[in-house]
Amino acid sequence: MSLQLIRPDINLDFVGKRHFFVILSTVINIAAVLMLIFVGLNYGVDFVGGSVVQVQFEKPTSANAIRDSLKPLGLGEITVQDFGASAGHTYLLRFEKVANIGSLGTKLGNRLAKTYGPQGAKVVRVESVGAKVGGDLRRRGFLAVVFATVFMGVFIAFQFRHTSWSFGAGAVIALVHDVLVVSLALVISQFQFDLTTLAALLTVIGYSVHDTVIVSDRIREDAAKRRREPIESIMNRAINETLSRTILTSGTAIVVLIALLAFGGPILRPSAFTLLIGFITGTYSSIYIAGPVVLFWEGHHRVGSLSSRAA
């Protein structure tokens, strides 16, 4: 037999400790909602309009120097973000409002050339989004998250209907939980929430359901086999049986994401971060959110009621 991380006969009491984790998750989720309301996501220009311009400087400079250089253009408030030394004196300039999309790149390039010399500063990326498009993208993004969540719930409820309709509810609540936890992480880190980050968030939804399905599938299978056991113990057994797989899959995915976070460059960093947090919480929620919802729904029925409906 080859390597083993998890002993095959492992039997940790996951279900028994659920009250603690449910309370913990509830607290984190409430905190997430409050933070979303009172601090808010750092929306990228994709969603609120405005411009980001990535400028590469020949020599080291500072945020204030850049701001001073651009002051005569009268472009309103400028946020300057340092992309770090590894990216070679690269700065990200963010403009809240841009009157004339399309002419910003040249205007900036000319102005910076005056301060830093003709080859001193190079505009390497311009992203400008008008307010109307921004609003449109925000609406579509929101709809995408809602559609994905609802569809997943319906799909799971249908696939597991013979065991209990509540698996759908469990998956949806687990999804909402994961989206909130990831949002909290994004609010705290103040990583930019743009289209790419949104794509990452939707992937988290996909992964979270994927993971919930694996655990639920084992519950479905065991419930059909062991008709006399209480649902708590079936659930706990299923979690333990899939634990090795959970650790392995999430582990490899997380290793890959760390590679992406470390080597993928600054543009991918927000989405790699989102995926990393999302995969961790997605794995956790399959055990401590989706499961308890099913338990709560089913009350404390003997499993007779659960398995009599099992295929």
Partner 1 sequence: MEAQSFAPILILLAICVAFLYLHFSGGSGLTRLYLAGVLVVVAVIILLPSFSIKLPDWWEGLLGGTKIQLGLDLQGGTHLLMEVKLDDAVKTQLRRRAEDIKRELKENKLDFTNISLDASGDLIVKLKSDDERTPFLDLMSKSFPDLAVSSASGIAGASYSLTFRPRDLQQIKSNAMDQALETIRNRIDQLGVRETTVQKEGDSDILVQLPGIQDPERAKELIGKTAVLEFKLVDSTHSVQDAIQNGPPPGDEVLYGPVDRGGRTPYLVEKPVLVTGDVVTDATVRPGGRLEGPYVAVDLDARGAQIFDTITAENVGRQLAIVLDGTVYSAPVIKERIPGGHVQITGRFSISEAHDLAIVLRSGALPAPVEIEEERTVGPSLGRDSIRQGELSFVIGAAAVLIFMAVYYSGAGILADFGLSLNILLLICVMAAMQATLTLPGIAGIVLTLGMSVDANVLVNERMREELRAGKTPREAVKLGYQRAWSAIRDSNISTFVAGLILFQFGTGPVKGFAVTLCVGVLTGLFSCIVVTRAWYDYLIAMRRLNAISV
Nearer to partner 1, 115 or 217 (CB): 217
Query: How far apart, in whole angstroms, are the C-alpha atoms of residue 121 and residue 264?
Result: 24
Torsion angles phi and psi, residue 125, rounded to 5: -155, 135
The label of the residue with tokens 């990535």 reads 54
Stretch that binds partner 1, among 34-42, 111-119, 250-258, 298-306 (CB under 8 A): 250-258
| DSSP 8-state class, residue 202 | H
Residues 56-95 vs partner 1: string with x where CB under 8 A?
A: x---------------------------------------
Stretch that binds partner 1, among 23-31, 68-76, 96-104, 111-119 (CB under 8 A): 96-104
Tell me which residues in 119-138 interact with partner 1 (CB under 8 A): 122-130, 132-133, 137
Q: Is residue 161 involved in binding partner 1 (CB under 8 A)?
A: no
Q: Is residue 2 involved in binding partner 1 (CB under 8 A)?
A: yes
Tell me which residues in 14-53 interact with partner 1 (CB under 8 A): none
The label of the residue with tokens 């400087």 reads 57
Nearer to partner 1, 35 or 289 (CB): 289
Give DSSP secondary structure letters for 8-59.
TT----TGGGHHHHHHHHHHHHHHHHHHHHHT--EE-HHHH-EEEEEEEESS
Residues 271-290 vs partner 1: string with x where CB under 8 A?
A: xx--x---------------
Residue 310 · residue 228 · CB < 8 Å: no
Residue among 248, 301, 304, 305 that touches partner 1 (CB under 8 A) = 248
Nearer to partner 1, 103 or 308 (CB): 103
Residue 21 · residue 105 · CB < 8 Å: no
Helices 166-189 and 269-285: angle between axes, nearest 10 degrees: 140
Nearer to partner 1, 25 or 216 (CB): 216
Q: How many residues bind partner 1 (CB under 8 A)?
A: 76
Q: Is residue 147 involved in binding partner 1 (CB under 8 A)?
A: yes
Q: Is residue 195 involved in binding partner 1 (CB under 8 A)?
A: yes
List, in sequence order, the alpha helices (H) in 86-130. Answer: 104-116
Residue 208 · residue 175 · CB < 8 Å: yes
